[in-house]
Chains A and B, each alone.
Chain A
């Protein structure tokens, strides 16, 4: 599926929820089920700065596509990462670079998008896109 299609799918899922509590419960569940990052990648240099909770992201290239794994010590943050990984993992670097992230607004997580928000959703997206830029440069 393309990034666009996955985003639409997520927007659909979230549209079933009536209130913030259901959305948060869903994110908490996503957080709990996020496949764990390998321990060896939970190192200082993989930590995303600007988050109140710790977030580790690891990226590697497989068949010209980027595979992301990540973890956080806060469960809601982990849920947000799970959504981002679902959107971006397994995609071409160029597509990740060009991706629009307006869907976050549509699923009612806009409050997490503010640049000052301590969970650093903005920093996370920026970091995933940085990996994409780095790998794209290698492909060129």
Chain B
């Protein structure tokens, strides 16, 4: 059983006040908070061994290189990739998706098809639309039902030998729905299509095993996993990463350069042009250690408890509707109050110290599906408490009273 009071001690930000009230942080689906060990790692890097990596022979550079490569190994181990060089450290999920989408430009032909789910974040829609425009491949969409679940029978119909790529998130950021990615991957492979899974939302709750999933590409961000912003990963199967052309040119990614011809470095450096976020990468490794020490099974169990409690308490408010009601969902509650704009609720609960997200959550197609301008989204993490949920519920009630 997870000791939430002890865990809260690890997060200095949870002690602060907002608008004179203790902070209640429920915007975890956007960015998780940072434990002291990660902050210490960042300070330690800049205080003691800040240097560029992979080239200097001096001690600082070697220490920084070692620490960065240890972090890559931690990422490999956490996601259970077969090889360390299958882990490309990027600036985050969006960057990772763009690497794959850009690199596929010359692999796809006109008339090929790519499939995306209707539950995607804009970052997992727009790069593929751009790829579709460049390559002439057709973009198809797996629709959802009222509960916010993918219609898998339609997916079956969309798949054909023309399908070359399928991409979906593991968990919807706007609704919290957990998608059946095992089935999506298996079925795509049957028609010879590659699959990219956006794990940005699932990583904080579920520890994925990329080999067991047999997924071709898997992307995620450190800042949802108690790590810093500006770091993430692209996992790709070795054979795919070898097949794809480099994404950006620059230092680090080369083997030999002459003005006549450049040969590229091997994996993972081929996709890591330029000086990376060294400190961020190292801190990402420490964040994974921290979360693994708590344990993902314990985290999931506790967050499910918060989800059940929050759902029950919020539904006691008259006129409140929750969007995304799948039985398979994580600790994200997206809701609206009848007759009130989500922005109004968000503004008032912020004044009461509660941080929630309002708006379309970068998932406009989902909002269009429900014909709403947006929702209020409360997303819980393992350091949140039931008492904080009570504060949210009271704040929403107060907002309702003021606004109606």
Contact = CB atoms under 8 A, between A and B. Distances in A.
A97 interface: no
Interface residues of A, number: 15
A52 B375 CA distance: 11
Nearest to B374: A52
Contacts of A24: 347-348, 351, 402
Contacts of B341: 53, 73-75, 77
A27 to B, nearest CB: 10
Contacts, number: 41
B402 A119 contact: no
A81 to B, nearest CB: 13
A21 interface: yes
Interface in A68-120: 73-77, 118-119
Interface magnitude class on chain B: 10 to 19
Residue among B347, B358, B373, B402 facing the most chain A CB atoms (10 A cut-off) = B347
Interface string B348-378: 1001000000110000000000000110000
A116 B212 CA distance: 42
24 contacts: A20-B19, A20-B351, A21-B351, A24-B348, A28-B402, A52-B358, A52-B359, A52-B374, A53-B341, A53-B373, A54-B373, A73-B341, A73-B373, A74-B343, A74-B344, A75-B341, A75-B403, A76-B343, A76-B348, A77-B341, A77-B344, A118-B343, A118-B358, A119-B347
Interface of A: 20-21, 24-25, 28, 52-54, 73-77, 118-119
Given A53-B344, A75-B340, 12 more contacts: A20-B19, A28-B403, A52-B343, A53-B343, A73-B341, A73-B373, A75-B344, A76-B343, A77-B341, A77-B344, A119-B343, A119-B347
